[in-house]
Structure 1
Amino acid sequence: MNGSGKRWGQDYPAPSEWKAMVENGGSSTMNPLEKSVWIWSDGGCDNVNQYVEFRHEFTLSNASEHAQLYISADSEYAVWINGRFADSGQYDDFPDHKAYDGLPIGHLLQQGENVLCILAYYQGVNSFQYIKGRPGLIYALETEEMTIRSGSDASYRQSPAYTSGQMPMSTAQLGFTFEYDAAHNDRWIESGYRMSGEWKRFDTVAAPDAIYPSLYERPIRKLDVKNRCRSHVTTQGVYERQNAGADAIVAELMQCDYLSHRLSRSLFEVGGSLSLPSSEGLSIRPGMFHENGGVYLVLDMKREECGFLELELDAEEGVVLDIAHGEHLDDLRVRASVRGKHFATRYRCGKGRQTFTHYMKRWAGRYLQLHISGVTEKFVLYYAGLRAVEYPVQNKGEFCCPDRLHRKIEQVAVRTLHLCMHEHYEDTPWREQALYAMDSRNQALCGYYCFGEYDFPAASNRLFGEGLKEDGFLELTAPARSPFTIPSFSFIWIVQLEEHLLYSGDIGQAGVMIGTVIRMMEKHMGNIRNGLLLTPGSSSYWNFYDWERGLNGASATAPDYKGLQGTRFDAPLNLFFVMALEAAGRMAHACGNRMAARHYQETADGVKAAIHEAFWDSAARAYRTYLGGTEGEHYAELTQSLALCARACPEPLAAPLRKRLSGRDNGLVPVTLSYALFKFKALLDEPEAYGQMVFDAIADDWGHMLYSGATSFWETKEGAEAFGQAGSLCHGWSAIPVYFYYAYILGVKPVEPGFRVFRIEPVISVFHQAEGRIPTPYGVIRVEWKQTKDGFVLNLEHPEGTTRQQSEPKPFDPGA
C-alpha cells in the first residue's frame, strides 16, 4: 500500500518518493526488496511485545566481498551473519511506508555454507516514537552469484529466551521493559547450529492476504555501534528484598530493596578488578548470598552514556540479575522506579561464560545498579555497562575564548546535543527518546554550527510533516499518534523549516515541505478573530508555553480535563504564529510563490498590530500573557521576549522593555533553560548593553550544572528533582549555549540560504578575543578577532561562493 493517497497531495510527494524525485528529476529508484516477502510467526499474528528469531541457511560457491543486505522490520531488528553481529536498528517511521537499510555484509560471508540470523521485535502498541503497524520482517541479501530473500526458505520461532507478551511499560514514551533467560539461549545464531522441531518454515501460501507498507531507503546514515563504555564499581553491599510477589515489577522491587553497604574486600575474591571490562573478572564470594536477597553493585560509567545494555559473566544457571539504569545517585542508589516509570530489567543466567547485548532498545544514563541473587557456587563479572551507540557526525565547528568555564560549557553542550541524536533528534535519551518540535528546533540551530549537519534535521522535519492533522496542527511527537498536541510547537516547526533553508541552502527540501506549510497557514488564518488567533479550546490541545507557573497548561494533562472554559487568546501562541507566518513567507518566496509570501507577511503585520493593541498593559509596562478565559493577570519573561523577537513591540517601547527584561527582580515569571533562547535573543538586539548579562546568565545557569557534577546538560535547573523526581539530566534543548557562542561571540549568521551571503557581527563586550570555525555547505568560515590598544582587529577567511555582507541588511520584502 502506497502511503501517498490519503496524506500527500500532488504538490507534496510521499516520503518514500521525495529523495528519488529530488535527485533523479522525478524518477524513482529500484526497490531491492520488491521480490521479497514480508514474513512473521504464526501467520502474522500481532500480539504485543513479540521477539521472533529467523534463520536462513544458504551456500555460496565463492565469498562475496561486495554483498549487501537490505532489511526492514516492524519494529526493530538485529542481524548476525555466520555468528558475527552485523548491525541493528530500524529507522523510526510510519506503518504504511517504512524505511529499509542497506548493510554492507560481504566481509562476514564465506565460501560454502552460510547462515543469516535475525532477531526481530514487534512492539505492537503506540508510543512516542512508534505507531502500531503490522508485525513483519523483509530482507534481501544480494551477492554476485545469487539473492537470498525472505520467504519460504526462512525458518522462524518465537524467541525462547526473551519474554514475549504483556510486560510492564518502561515509560509511555519508550514502550515495554524486557526480561531475558540465557538458559534458553541455544546458540541459534551460530553456523553449526541444527534447528529442531520448534522451528517452522514460513508458508507463503498460507500467509494472510495483507496490505504491507511501501518501502523507501533510510534517509540518514546508520548509527555506529561502538565500543563498550568503561564502568567502575563505585559502591557495593548486600540487599534484602521485601514482599516479592509473582507479578511484582522488577523496577519497583529494586527501588524498595533494603541496601546495606559492605567493604569491597569482604564481597570480592582477592585479585578482582573494580574497573570493567576486566580480563580477570570480578568474582563475588558465594557466602554473601542468602535466600531473600543477595549482592548489589553500583557501576559508574563516569559520564552520561547512551547505548545497548551489555553483560559478560560466568555463572551457574538460574542466577538472577536485576539491572537498573539511571542518571544520578541522589537516592544513594539508582532511581529504578519513579511515578510509574520503570528503568530496570531482569536477566536470568545460563550456565558458564556468557555474553549478552540487548539490541532492541537503547538505554541512557551514567549508572547501572545490579541486584544479584541465587548464587551458590560461582559468579564472576567481566563486564556490565553500555555499548555506545552514536549518530556519525564530526565536530566541524570550533569555538575558543579566553574563559575556561565558557569553553567547558560549549564542549558539554555539544556532547549533550550528540547524545540526543539517533534516528532523529530526541528530547532525552533516558526517559523518552522522542522527537518534539520545540526541542528539535533548538537542537538543529546548534547542530548547524557545531556539526554542519543538514540531512539529519531535514529527516526529522519530514517526520513531523507526516504528522499533519486535519486541524492544521502536527502530532505532539513524530512518528506517533497522541491524544493531544501542543499548538505552539507546530508554529515553531515552521520556523525550523525556514531556518533549515537558511543554514543548509537546500531549496529542494523547502520545495518538498512548502505544501504542508501552505495547508497549515490556510487552516490557521481561518481561525483569526478580531486580528488574533483564537486559542484552541478542546481537550485535544495542551496550551503549553514553558514549564513555569501559569505557562505550562498544567490542567490539560489531568485525566478529566475538558478543555478551556470560554474564549481565550494567548499572547505566546499569537507571537509564535507571527514567527511562523514570516518564516512561511520567506520559504514561499524562496520557492517562487511571491503571492503567498506577500499574503503571509501582510497577515503577520496585522497580527502584530493586534497583539500590541490587545495585550500591551500601559500601566504594567509589559505584555499580558492571556486575554479571556479563566486566567488571571499574568506577565512573563517569555511573553516579553517573544514580543521583542517577533518585532511586535513598537520601537519606542522596545528599549525600555529590554531593560526591564534584563533585571533580576523584574516582576515577571522567569523563563526556563530551553525558552531562555528567546530571552537571550531579545536582549542581544542591544549587544553592547546586554551582552555581558546574557553570557553571565549562561555562566551562572549552565555553570551551576557543571559545578553540580553534570556531564551533560539538564532538562531544567532543578535537575533530577524536577517533574516529581523524574527530571532528565541530558536534554537536547539545553544545548543552546552553542548557538550563542557561534552566532554572537564569533558573530556569524547566514543572510541568504546556505551562507551564500553571511553577516559577521561579533559581540565584543564579553571577551577581549575569540576565534573559531563555522561549517557551511560551501566549506568552513574561519574567524579570529581581538581587541588591541590600536582597536578592534578581525581576521576572516571564507570559502569560495560565499560573500560577507558589507552593508546593513535590508528589510525583507516578499514582493521583491
Structure 2
Amino acid sequence: MELWKNGIWIWAEGYDSVNVYIDAEVSFTKKPGQTVTMAVSVDTNYAFELGGRLFFGQYADYPFDKVYDLLDLTDAAAEGENRLTIRCWHQGDDSSTVRGETAGLIFEIFADGACIAASSPETVVRPVAGYAMGPIEHVSGQLGYSFRFDSRVPEAEPVRTVLPDKPLPRRERPIRKLTLGEDEPAAVAVTGSYRENGGDTMGKRMQFASLRFGEQNRRRRFPSEDGLALRAEEGEDGVFILIDTERENAGLLSLDLDVPQEAEILVGWGEQLDDLRVRAFVGNRNFCASYTAHAGRNRFVHPFRRLGMRYLELHIASKEAVIRYAGIKRTDYPLEHEMAFSCADSLHTRIFDVAKRTLLMCMHEHYEDCPWREQALYTMDSRNQMLCGYLAFHELDFPKASIRLMAQSIRDDNMLELCSPARVSITIPSFSAIFLTQAWEYLIYSEKLTGKADTDFLSEILPVMKRIADEFIRRRDPENGLITCFPERQYWNFYEWQDGLVSSIGTVSSEDDLTYDAPLCAFVSFGLRSLANTLDKLGRADEAAYYRREHLSLNEDLDKAFWDEDRGAYATYINRKTGEKRHFAELTNALILYADAAKGARLDSTLINLTGKGGLLPVTLSHSIFKYDALMTRPEQYARFVFSDIARHWGYMLEHEATTFWETIEGAREFGNAGSLCHGWSAVPIRFYAEYAMTLDSGVTGLYECAMRPIR
C-alpha cells in the first residue's frame, strides 16, 4: 500500500485563521470481506464517527515532519456505501502545545491495499456553523482555546475547497493511539439553583454566580438512563449540578441531558472544591466551555479538547433539566506492561500506586506536565516521567517519541524550545541542559529493557545534543570557566519553584545583576558527562574524551568558586561584578553532588546538609530526585532518611485526599490558586522503590517484604 499518491492537502476557503472548525465529507464502498484502512493527517486535530465508533486524535507533530494515523476501519465500515464526515479543528496560533501553522487535511482510504477515496479538489468541505470561531477565551495561555458550541445552528453550506501548500506526511505515528472509554462513573455531589452575577468570560460567569444549594442527600450515580430531574427555585436563572468522578481523570467531555427548551449550559471543570465549586476562573484562565442545547434530549461529546479534572459543574439556563450523564470519556494511553509494588508498610505501596496513576494521567500524545492546566511537554518534567515510566511500565516507544519531539525543537540559538512541539517566546537554558542527560538515560534503559541499546536513535539526535553542549561550552567564562545566567530577554533562568530559584520572565539582566549560577553550571556539567558517555557508547572515543574533559574542568571550577567555607555549603549565585556569594539551597548542593563535583570533606558536609541539618532552602517535590539520588550514593547512611522523607511528603498528599500527586507540596494554593493536583514530575518515588528498595537489604532501607511483579 503506497501512501500519498492520491490524497492532497485540502481545506475550506476563508477558514485558515485561528480556532476554526470544518467538516470534510467522503463516501466509499466496502465489498464483502475487504479490509479497509485510512491514512489521515491534519493541522490541528480531527474526529469522525463510523459504525458507532469515534476515531480521533492527531499526533502532536511539526509542519516540517507531519505524522499520519493509519486507522483500521474494517469492523466499523458496513458493507456497501459508507459516508464519513471528518470534523477538523485548527488552532492557528502558538501555545505551549501547538505551533500556529497553515491549516490542512489530507486522507486516503484503502480497500485491500487499493485506494478507493482520497482528499481532492472535489471533496465537499463546509464550516461547522455551530462552533464559535476566531479568538475566544483560552483555557490557559499554555493550552489554548476553550470552545463554544450551539447545537441549534443548522448545517452550513459547502464552500470552495482550497489546496494548501504543505509537505506530505512523512511517517506513521510512533506511539499507540489513545483508547476511548465509556462514560466514566460519577456521583452527584450537590445540585441547586444559580443566579448570574456578570462576567465577561465563561469562566468568570461561572465563578462569580450565586449558588443556592438544593437537597443535600441526592446521591445519584451516573450514568443513569432514568436521569436526575432538576428544578430551579423561584427567581433564579437556572439549575446547577456538581459532579464528582471520585479521582483525577483525563478525557473528553460527554453530556447526555434533557431540557424543555433551548438553553445555554456552562460547563466548568476542576481538580478540587476549595471554592465550594470548581475553580472555573483563576488568573485569566477559563476552565469552562459553553454548550447551547436544543429542546429535548442532547447527547454531546467534544473530541478536540481533553479535560483534566475530578469535578464537573454545569450551569443550565433552564428552570428544569434531566441529567442522564455529565462527565468524561477517559482517554488513556494503552500500556503494554505495568508493574505493581508491594511493601509491608502499606503507605509505601499506596504511594507507588498513586505515583503510577499520576504518570498515566500525564501520558497522552506525549508526556504532559499536567492534564488540567497545560498538557505541555517539557524536558525537565518529562525526564522524571521517563525515569519512573521505564520502571513502572517498561515503556520505550513513548519516551523515544517525546525525546524526538524535543530534539526537533532545536532553535537557531542552539537551545530547545521550552515546550515541544510548540513555539514559545522564551526558553529555559537549564531545561536544554537536562536534555543531554535525558537522552543518555533513554540509551541506558533501552539496553536494560531489551538487551540492546538503541544506538541508532541516539546517533540520529546526536547533532542536536552536540549543538546544545557546544553552546554552553561557548558561554563559559574564559577567566574562571563558569557560566553566567543567560542575560537576554528570551531566556528564563528558572531552576525550580522555590524562593530565589525562579527568576523573572522577559527581562534583560544588567551588568550589575549578572550572576554565575551554580545550578546551571551543574546541569551543564552532568549533561556533558552524559554526552561523553553517549559518544563512548557510539564508538566515538575522541569526541567523548573532549566532552569529558569539559565536564571535569567545569566540576573543578564549580567546586572552587561556589564553596562557602563559613556555611559549609555551596552557594547558588556569585555576582559577576562584586564576587558576592548568596543563596543556599538543597537543590544547588544536590546538583553539584549529582555532577560529582564535590570531594572529600565537602562531599561529607554536603550530604549531611541535604538531610536538613544545614539550614538550606528545601528542595521541591519535582527536584527531590536529585537530592535523593545524591544521598543514595551512600545508602547505608542515608537510605532510611530518603524513604522516610518520601513517606512524609507524599504521605502528606495522601492524607489530604490526593488521588494523584501535586505540582508542589502547596497543592492548589500554589501559583495564585492555580496549582496543579496532578503533575507527572511528582511521580519521583517510583524510581527509588524500583531501583533501591528492590535491590538493597531491608535493614538498609527500612522497608520490608518489598516485591515487584508484572500485572500486565
TM over 0.5: same fold? yes
CA distance in 2, matches of 1:574, 1:113: 64
CA distance in 2, matches of 1:388, 1:177: 19
Change (3 A) 1:564 1:706: farther
Residue 497 of structure 2 corresponds to 547
CA distance in 1, matches of 2:581, 2:604: 27
CA distance in 2, matches of 1:199, 1:471: 45
The question of 1:198 aligning with 2:157 is answered yes
Deviations 1:374-400 (A, max 9, x none): 34xx52111000100011114532322
Instruction: Indicate conservation of the 8 Å contact 2:19/2:90, yes or no.
Output: yes
Residue 515 of structure 1 corresponds to 463
Instruction: Indicate conservation of the 8 Å contact 2:427/2:492, yes or no.
Output: yes
The question of 1:98 aligning with 2:66 is answered yes
Query: TM (normalized to structure 2)?
Result: 0.95
Change (3 A) 1:650 1:326: same
The question of 1:79 aligning with 2:27 is answered no
CA distance in 1, matches of 2:647, 2:510: 39
The question of 1:477 aligning with 2:432 is answered no
Instruction: Indicate conservation of the 8 Å contact 1:744/1:763, yes or no.
Output: no
Deviations 1:574-619 (A, max 9, x none): 0011110000001111111111111111111111011111111112
Instruction: Indicate conservation of the 8 Å contact 2:68/2:169, yes or no.
Output: no
CA distance in 1, matches of 2:308, 2:591: 34
Residue 449 of structure 2 corresponds to none
Give the drift of 1:460: 0.5
Change (3 A) 1:660 1:31: same
CA distance in 2, matches of 1:587, 1:637: 28
The AA in structure 2 aligned to 1:695 is F
Which of 73, 76, 80 aligns to 1:112? It is 80
Which of 221, 240, 245 aligns to 1:275? It is 221
CA distance in 2, matches of 1:379, 1:296: 9
Which of 598, 618, 622 aligns to 1:649? It is 598
Which of 275, 290, 302 aligns to 1:346? It is 290
CA distance in 2, matches of 1:179, 1:305: 22
Change (3 A) 1:564 1:705: farther
The AA in structure 2 aligned to 1:288 is E
Deviations 1:746-804 (A, max 9, x none): 12xxxxxxxxxxxx7777331233222489xxxx9xxxxxxxxxxxxxxxxxxxxxxxx
Gaps of 5+ in 2: 447-452
Deviates more, 1:522-531 or 1:535-544: 522-531
SS in 1 for 2:629: helix
Deviations 1:399-443 (A, max 9, x none): 221100000000000000010000110000000000010000000
Residue 527 of structure 2 corresponds to 580
Residue 89 of structure 2 corresponds to 121
CA distance in 1, matches of 2:396, 2:118: 34
Instruction: Indicate conservation of the 8 Å contact 2:27/2:117, yes or no.
Output: no
Give the drift of 1:455: 0.7
Change (3 A) 1:669 1:708: same
Residue 25 of structure 2 corresponds to 55
The question of 1:589 aligning with 2:536 is answered yes
Instruction: Indicate conservation of the 8 Å contact 2:9/2:165, yes or no.
Output: no
Which of 547, 569, 589 aligns to 1:640? It is 589
Instruction: Indicate conservation of the 8 Å contact 2:572/2:581, yes or no.
Output: no
The AA in structure 2 aligned to 1:231 is A
CA distance in 2, matches of 1:409, 1:465: 32
Instruction: Indicate conservation of the 8 Å contact 2:698/2:704, yes or no.
Output: no
SS in 2 for 1:445: helix
The question of 1:382 aligning with 2:353 is answered no
SS in 2 for 1:434: coil
Instruction: Indicate conservation of the 8 Å contact 1:745/1:763, yes or no.
Output: no
CA distance in 2, matches of 1:342, 1:236: 22
Q: Give the 4+ runs in structure 1 shifted more than 4 A.
A: 629-632, 760-763
Instruction: Indicate conservation of the 8 Å contact 1:184/1:350, yes or no.
Output: no
The question of 1:711 aligning with 2:670 is answered no
SS in 2 for 1:227: coil
Which of 575, 578, 582 aligns to 1:628? It is 575
Deviations 1:25-74 (A, max 9, x none): xxxxx76124211111116x4211001011112334x1454211110000
What number of residue pairs does the alignment pair up? 700
Give the drift of 1:215: 2.8
Query: TM (normalized to structure 1)?
Result: 0.83
CA distance in 1, matches of 2:100, 2:35: 35
CA distance in 1, matches of 2:690, 2:486: 37
Instruction: Indicate conservation of the 8 Å contact 1:230/1:277, yes or no.
Output: yes
Give the drift of 1:152: 3.2
Instruction: Indicate conservation of the 8 Å contact 2:250/2:330, yes or no.
Output: yes
Instruction: Indicate conservation of the 8 Å contact 1:48/1:122, yes or no.
Output: yes
The AA in structure 1 aligned to 2:280 is A
SS in 1 for 2:244: strand
CA distance in 1, matches of 2:115, 2:205: 52
CA distance in 2, matches of 1:295, 1:317: 14
Instruction: Indicate conservation of the 8 Å contact 1:153/1:201, yes or no.
Output: no
Instruction: Indicate conservation of the 8 Å contact 1:46/1:135, yes or no.
Output: yes
Instruction: Indicate conservation of the 8 Å contact 2:343/2:349, yes or no.
Output: yes
Instruction: Indicate conservation of the 8 Å contact 1:95/1:213, yes or no.
Output: no
CA distance in 2, matches of 1:305, 1:241: 29
Gaps of 5+ in 1: 1-29, 187-196, 748-759, 781-816
CA distance in 2, matches of 1:167, 1:732: 29
Residue 766 of structure 1 corresponds to 702
Instruction: Indicate conservation of the 8 Å contact 1:64/1:143, yes or no.
Output: no
CA distance in 2, matches of 1:768, 1:367: 37
The AA in structure 1 aligned to 2:299 is T
Change (3 A) 1:56 1:474: same
Give the drift of 1:648: 0.3
Tell me which structure has the larger Cα radius of gyration.
1
Residue 390 of structure 2 corresponds to 448
Deviates more, 1:627-636 or 1:220-229: 627-636
Instruction: Indicate conservation of the 8 Å contact 1:157/1:199, yes or no.
Output: yes
Deviations 1:155-182 (A, max 9, x none): 1111022111121111111111101111
Give the drift of 1:208: 5.4
The question of 1:149 aligning with 2:101 is answered no
SS in 1 for 2:117: strand
The question of 1:259 aligning with 2:259 is answered no
Identity value in percent = 37
